[in-house]
Structure 1
Amino acid sequence: MVEVFKTNVEDPAQAAKLVGLLQKHITNSSVNFDLEDCDKVLRIEGPEVSPQSVVGILKDYGYKCQPLE
């Protein structure tokens, strides 16, 4: 399963911190940001990815996140 999200994360250091955090919550997953994309894309690939959980985790850290279609 692959989920792609539009975010407002711009800082590479913060993106790296969020990748680690998301990988702890979503086990057996591959998580990365494309901060060069205009949508600051977050891509998560794993067996079980809950878009609502991802949105909630980023919101808890003060970031906006919404699934891309």
Structure 2
Amino acid sequence: MNVYIFKTSISPQDISFVNSILRSVIPKSSWNFDLEDCDHILRVESKKNITKLVQLNLQRDGFECEELL
């Protein structure tokens, strides 16, 4: 399992909406948020590389999303 970490613009009120986006595009992955971090971290665990998929879908819906390496 790989862990991908993203800097985002997700806020607490966006969680439900973002969860629905992630469920539709990466249903076999798990994720969690650390919105207390200044970078509003999204961590995703997945067997395959989902970086582009997550970034494109969140950005399409108006969120900033950048993988932290």
TM class by smaller structure: 0.7 to 0.9
Under a length normalisation based on structure 1, what TM-score does the superposition of the two structures give? Answer: 0.86
Local SS of the residue matching 2:4: strand
Gaps of 5+ in 1: none
Any gaps of 5 or more consecutive residues in structure 2?
none
SS at match of 1:17: helix
Aligned mates of 2:17, 2:52 — CA distance in 1: 20
Corresponding residue for 1:21? Answer: 21
Q: Distance in 1 between matches of 2:19 and 2:31?
A: 6
Deviation per CA, 1:4-59: give whole Å up to 9, x if none: 0000112x131232123212211211112111001000110021232111110111
Instruction: Output the TM-score relative to the length of structure 2.
Output: 0.86
